Amino acid sequence: MSATFSKSISGFYTANNATIVGDVTIGAESSVWFNVVVRGDVAPISIGKRVNVQDGAIIHCDSHVPNVMEDDVSIAHGAIVHGMHVGRGTLIGMGAILLGRTKIGSECLIAAGAVVPPGWEVPDRMVVMGVPGKIVRGVKDEELKYMRWLSSHYVELAEKHVAGVFGQTGMTKPE
């Protein structure tokens, strides 16, 4: 892992090949997985508690535009999150792209492959799909249940990796 923090909270999990640089704060029980890039080099990035940033995701910022992820956010494999605010409990699907200066509400679902245009605001509990992204409906109860489960699942999964359940996977938990 390459890490240079201006500040950090101990107790998060990170893969040894994740790159985390600049002004980055990561909350307790969050996990930054394999081949993730978190670049707080042009503005601060704040990752809340129990956030999971899955394999190959990229988090960066527009110049002087902080990137904030509230607690219990899931950023799926290969997603790009660029200069925005993501509300508590939101799921950003695989390969989704969230362009700069957007605000995503709490408990939203951004579908796999969706592209959220710059400057958009998405209200709480909405589903965004498509290219360009469009709000298509509200989040269903079963989707919300899954999204809530996902956050705790990734805490448990990271703990298993650190404990060596899957062999030498390269996950660590700084104290």
pTM given for the model: 0.92
Model pLDDT, residue 149: 97
Instruction: Read off the pLDDT band of 9 (50, 70, 90).
Output: very low
Domain positions in the chain are: 2-164
Model pLDDT, residue 59: 97
Q: Which residues pair with 53 in a beta bridge?
A: 32, 75
Domain 2-164: assigned CATH number:
2.160.10.10
Model pLDDT, residue 174: 65
Lowest-confidence region among 7-11, 26-30, 95-99, 121-125:
7-11
Residue 42 has pLDDT above 50, yes or no: yes
Residue 21 has pLDDT above 70, yes or no: yes
Which tops the pLDDT comparison, 166 or 97?
A: 97
Residue 98 has pLDDT above 70, yes or no: yes
Query: Residue 152 and residue 34: Cα distance in Å, rounded?
Result: 18
Model pLDDT, residue 165: 87
Query: Residue 53 and residue 141: Cα distance in Å, rounded?
Result: 23
Model pLDDT, residue 113: 99
What is the rounded average pLDDT for all residues in the chain?
91
Model pLDDT, residue 49: 95
Nearest Cα to Cα of residue 14 among 146, 174, 133, 160: 174
59 class by beta-carbon count within 10 Å (0-12 exposed, 13-18 middle, 19+ buried)? buried
Residue 146 has pLDDT above 80, yes or no: yes
